[in-house]
Structures are given as structure tokens and as C-alpha cells.
Amino acid sequence: MKHEELSWHASDGQQFHGLEWRPEGETRAVVCLVHGLGEHAGRYAHVAQALCDAGYALLAFDLRGHGQTPGRRGHAPSWETALDDIARLLDEGAQRFPGLPRFLYGHSLGGTLVLAYALRRKPQVAGVIATGPVLKLPQPVPPAKLALGRFMYRVLPSFQLANGLDRAGLSRDPEVVRRYNEDPLVHDRVSARLAADMLDSGEWNIAHAAEFALPLLLMHGTADRITWAEGSRQFAAKLKGDCTFRLWQGLYHEIHNEPEQKEVLGFMIHWLQAHTL
């Protein structure tokens, strides 16, 4: 596997930190990854290894205000800006892997974003993978925190709040949680704007799910207490086209970081192989 750190700019001048992993031999397609809230693309190196072993490249970037990409922590100027950033990622994929199929893959916040991107922008990609997307939450946001967030969304949208992530709910593997807690590139911030946009988009995605027109692999752990598998079930139930929906019994939020990760990634690769022309 070949690994390279990258850098590119959006049209508004925002600089992004990118990562590329490609197979030593022939590359069948490129998977473009959007990570979750508070984390960064570097946490997916083991996913990249599994994909590269199967002949797939992984291209990823740190979202604005995440990882090594500059910006106010956990903030995006707007949801449309975040979608524009995904368009830029896909453009980078087309430039670096000309003529190869592109897949869009998102986890958690990234899962919500890639579903919204596919519904709103209708990209020319071979398929979409979403794991643990934020479509519904297992527990409602406390009313006081929700009211504060909605107020600050109007008057100071970059206002930061603690994201309240249940870190112990990421994985049943304590080593994954330990590494997450000790990772200097991980943070617990989210802006009023990004938080509200993320929650609103989850509901919007479900409402418009029947319009989803691309091949989709949608996966969720049934024991996920960070995002609710019921949201993914409702989304999948509305789809009329090519949708593979897989619930992983007893798995927590980061199904790619669970003790069963080899099986999870193997299922993903099998789906990719079935959808690679």
C-alpha cells in the first residue's frame, strides 16, 4: 500500500489536509471518505489497508475545523459549504484517478453528509456507502441545550458547544476508546450551526429518501447509542432502487472499529466488487 499526505484548496480559499492510500498494483476504483464529527481521516488507515488489499484506493480529507484542516473546531459556515467540500473531494478523486469509478463513503456525520450530497447534488458516482449516519438520535437533545443552540444559530452560528459524544459507545474494544481519548487531533467541539444543520439534515434525508437514485450500502450497529439504527431503517425502507441495508447485531457506533471489523470491511468490499464495472 502506498500512502501520501495531500493538500488542496476550496474555491473560498479554505485549505484542506488530505490523505491518499492506493494499492501497490492495479487500482479498480477510488473510495472517497468523509469522516465523523470531532475525528479525522487518519483514523481510517486500517480501513484503507483492507480496501487496498482488495484493489481499491481510499482518498480522504479532514473536514473544516477537524484534524489538520484549519478552521474553528467543529464548525462549517453552512451545510451547503460542507456539501461543496465533498464536491471538491470528488473532483480530487477524478483528477488523481482519471477514468476510474468513484464511490462516496461517509461515517456518522460523514454518513449524513454523503446521503444529503447524493440526494441534493445527484453526483456521477458508482455508489454510496453510509455507516452509522446521524438520521435520528437514540436520546433527544436536552431542551435547554437545544434552545441555546437554536438561539446561537441565529445570532452567533460559530458559537461552540460540547458535542456530548459518548466515547465509550464508539466501540466495544477498549483499545479503540483509549486511542481516541489520547488522540491530539480529536476534539469535542461542535458549532451551533453545524449541530443544527446536521440534525435538520437527518430528518430531511429521511423525508426525501424515496428520491435516492444511486446504489447504496447502508450499515448500522444495533447497539449504537450515539446514532440510532432506527433512522437508518426508516431511510432504507423508503428506497425503491439498489439498496443493501445491513444491521450488525450488538455492534456499537464505529462498526469498522469493532472486534468484528474484518467481517464488516469484508462485507463492504464484497459490495464494492459487485458494483465495480
The strand pairing partners of 243, in sequence order, are 216
Alpha helices in the chain (DSSP H): 45-53, 79-96, 109-121, 143-155, 174-182, 192-207, 229-238, 261-274
Of 187, 224, 256, 275, which residue is the catalytic one? 224
85 is catalytic: no
- Map grid coordinates 463513503 to a residue: 105
Of 108, 158, 171, 191, which residue is the catalytic one? 108
The strand pairing partners of 57, in sequence order, are 30
173 is catalytic: no
Do the beta carbons of residue 172 and residue 254 sit within 8 Å?
no
DSSP assignment of 176-211: HHHHHHH-TT---EEEHHHHHHHHHHHHHHHHTGGG
Count CB-CB contacts under 10 A for residue 179. 15
Do the beta carbons of residue 219 and residue 248 sit within 8 Å?
yes
253 is catalytic: yes
Of 17, 40, 187, 253, which residue is the catalytic one? 253
Cα 198 → chain centroid: 12
Question: What is each CA distance from 120 to 150, 164, 213, 228, in whole angstroms?
Answer: 24, 29, 11, 23
List, by residue number, the catalytic residues: 108, 224, 253
